[in-house]
Amino acid sequence: MHNLTISQISKGLENGDFTSVEITQHFLDRIKQLDQGNDGFNSFITVMEAQALADAEAADKRRAAGNATAWTGVPFAHKDIFCTDGTLTTCGSKMLGNFIPPYDATVVDNFKQQGAVCLGKTNMDEFAMGSSNESSFFGGVKNPWNKATIPGGSSGGSAAAVAARLVPAATGTDTGGSIRQPAALCGLTGLKPTYGRCSRFGMIAFASSLDQAGPMTQTAEDAAMMLNVMASFDEKDSTSIEQDLPDYTATLNNDIAGKVIGIPKEFFPDSLDGEMAKTVRDAIAEFEKLGCTVKEISLPSTDLAIPAYYVVAPAECSANLSRMDGVRFGHRCEDPKDVEDLYKRSRGEGFGDEVKRRIMMGTYALSTGFYDAYYVKAQKIRRLIKNDFVSAFEQVDIIMGPVTPSPAFKAGEKSGDPVEMYMEDKFTLSCNLAGLPGMSIPAGQINGLPVGLQMIGNYWSEANMLNMAHQFQSHTDFHKQAPQGIE
């Protein structure tokens, strides 16, 4: 039962093969069995057992009353970055270790409207800063494919939970690769939509101009179903964009013959691991079998993405995290002697090393005398990167390449070297800087660990990306492979 996809569960509920309470209980049991304890995956920070069962019961009643939608009664999980009314929302940080929001994020509300059943809140890098889930205050997450390796980050809990079939799908957020990289390392389908497609209201901000929510699923079809719920125009988010909301499942079976795939030479540098290059190129060759053509292109500013990103994202986060001051919510130090002491100790104790590092980098980059050299220059680079893509999409329908330089690495391997860790996102950052949609789909394995194929689409072309991904998955079975012992 736990290997069912969202689409299969939806049909099963519709056909009366099982009730929402039954399938919800089944996944809750798996979480108890496999996620907790020393040997567990640790992919959940909070399991909402009582609430989930109550929601499942309500969903079954709604179905009986004839008001069910495709999502009514379907279990899933939220990354712990989304505010959930009345349920602990930590963002992976000690700072918010006691924060119970009095409101729902728009994305959370969208699922509630459908009657979907949230099983819990998944582990993540602290404030979404990290590529291995090792910066979480609640401990690292084990990759179900090999417990010695990391699941990727920052949406590492969501990725591990879906890969271990503790939930059929989960939400993620992606600021520089935080959906695509863990999806790649855990063998999942992950989609970061166009900036402005999903509301950021209630999604705890890391870097506001880059953050975007998206689905993490087993299949492209599930991702389409999930994006149907997640995407919405929201007046509460001024950067949300009013744009037609297609039914993303409606075009999954369109013929993709004739689509032109761009392969940027910068995504296949000489330094790229040969096996990684081959696996990705082999996957692209599958598209050629489906009638697509391939074109070599160039995105000359690609190498500038890492330095630009590591100015813009820390700069924005340095301001976004200022509200975590120990005054109104969250961690507060014991017996502050004055307000200065309250700030220094609450923040000093509440934030982990990686968060502090980024706040300091961002503060520095925005300081008088450095602003032009860093922030302004980074914004110029952003425009260059965007322009690269705009010219590329005049020639091609989609861009493909690797998601990561390598498959999942061992826990602890890079955690001592931040720059090495930052290089993990070298292929995913440019997408966020340009605001474009990016996707990762399973493309094969290296040494028994999954590898992802990255697809970057033009603005608002999610339907096309999902269509191509679904066609690929209809002719391959990389996405069906699950970690050993799971099936």
Partner 1 sequence: MEWEVVIGLEIHAQLATKSKIFSGSSTAFGAEANTQASLVDLGLPGVLPVFNQEALAMAVKLGCAIDAEIGKVSVFDRKNYFYPDSPKGYQTTQLHHPIVGMGHIDIDMEDGTSRRINVTRAHLEEDAGKSLHEDFSGMSGIDLNRAGTPLVEIVSEPEMRNAKEAVAYFKKMHSIVTYLGICDGDLSQGSMRCDCNVSLRPKGQEEFGTRTEIKNVNSFRFVEQAINVEIERQRDILEDGGEITQETRLFDANKMETRSMRSKEVENDYRYFPCPDLLPIVIDDDYIEAIRKTLPELPDQKKQRLITEQGLSEYDAGVLTATRELAAYFEEVAVKCSDYKLAANWVMGELSAALNKNDVDITTSPISSDNLGAMVARIKDNTISGKGAKSVFQALWEQKGDNVDALIDSLGLKQVSDSGAIEGIVDEVLANNDGQVQNYINAEPDKRGKMIGFFVGQVMKASKGSANPGMVNKVLKEKLDSKC
Query: Interface with partner 1 by CB under 8 A: which residues?
Result: 82-83, 89, 91, 96, 99, 101-103, 105, 200-205, 207-209, 235-239, 315-316, 318-319, 321-325, 327-330, 339, 343, 363, 366-368, 371, 375
The CA-based dihedral angle spanning residues 413, 418, 421, 426, taken in that order and rounded to the nearest 10 degrees: -160
Q: Could you give the CA distance from residue 252 to residue 232 in angstroms, rounded to a whole number?
A: 20
Q: Could you give the CA distance from residue 168 to residue 282 in angstroms, rounded to a whole number?
A: 28
Our answer to whether residue 79 is catalytic in this structure is yes
Candidates 154, 199, 318, 430; catalytic one: 154
Q: CA 181, 182, 183: angle at the middle one, nearest 5?
A: 90
> What is the sign of the dihedral through the CA atoms of 441, 195, 203 and 223?
negative
Please give the sequence-ordered ranges of beta strands (E in DSSP) within 403-437, or none if there are none. Answer: none
Tokens describing residue 291? 């009638």
What minimum distance in Å lies between the beta carbon of 95 and partner 1? Answer: 9
What minimum distance in Å lies between the beta carbon of 18 and partner 1? Answer: 34
Q: 3-class SS at 337? A: coil
What minimum distance in Å lies between the beta carbon of 152 and partner 1? Answer: 23
Contact yes or no for 332/370 (Cβ under 8 A): no
Candidates 136, 178, 199, 461; catalytic one: 178
Tally of CA atoms within 13 A in the half-sphere of 273 that contains its CB: 13
> What is the sign of the dihedral through the CA atoms of 269, 273, 279 and 282?
positive
What minimum distance in Å lies between the beta carbon of 57 and partner 1? Answer: 28
Candidates 79, 121, 142, 426; catalytic one: 79
Instruction: Please say which residue, 8 or 363, places its beta carbon nearer to partner 1.
Output: 363
Instruction: Please say which residue, 103 or 383, places its beta carbon nearer to partner 1.
Output: 103
Our answer to whether residue 154 is catalytic in this structure is yes
Instruction: Please say which residue, 127 or 427, places its beta carbon nearer to partner 1.
Output: 127
Instruction: Please say which residue, 125 or 397, places its beta carbon nearer to partner 1.
Output: 125
Q: Could you give the CA distance from residue 92 to residue 71 in angstroms, rounded to a whole number?
A: 27
Our answer to whether residue 43 is catalytic in this structure is no
Instruction: Please say which residue, 250 or 339, places its beta carbon nearer to partner 1.
Output: 339
What minimum distance in Å lies between the beta carbon of 179 and partner 1? Answer: 18
How many residues are given for the chain? 487
Active site residues: 79, 154, 178
